[in-house]
Chain A
Amino acid sequence: MRTRRARPALGTLVEIGVAARGAGASLSLGDAIASAFARIAVAEAQLSRFDPASPIHRFNAAAPGTRIAIGSDAARVLTAALLLHDASDGAFDISLGSGPVGWRCEGGSLLKIAAGTTLDLGGIGKGHAVDCAIATLRAAGVEAGWVNAGGDLRVFGDVALPVHLRDEVRGGVVPFADLRDGAFATSRLPAGHASVAAEECLWADALTKLVVASGDARHPLLERHGAVAWLH
Chain B
Amino acid sequence: MSATVPLVDPNPPARLPAPPIDVERVRQDFPLLHQRVRGKPLVYLDNAATSQKPQSVIDAVTRFYTSENANIHRGVHYLSERATDAYDQVREKVARFLNARSSREIIFTRGTTEGINLVAQSYGRPALKPGDDIVITAMEHHSNIVPWQLVCEQTGSRLRAAPFNDAGELDVDAFEQLLTDRTRLVSVVHVSNALGTVNPVKRLIALAHDRGIPVLLDGAQSAPHLGVDVQELDCDFFAFSGHKLFGPTGVGVLFGRESLLEQMPPYQGGGDMIATVTLERSTWAPLPAKFEAGTPMIAQVMGLGAALDYVMDLGFERISSWEHQLLSYATERVIGVEGLKLIGTAAHKASILGFTLKGVHPHDIGAILDDSGVAIRAGHHCAQPVMRHFGIPATARASFAFYNTRDEADILADALMQVRRMFR
Pairing of A with B? no
Chain B residues packing against A (C-beta within 8 Å):
none
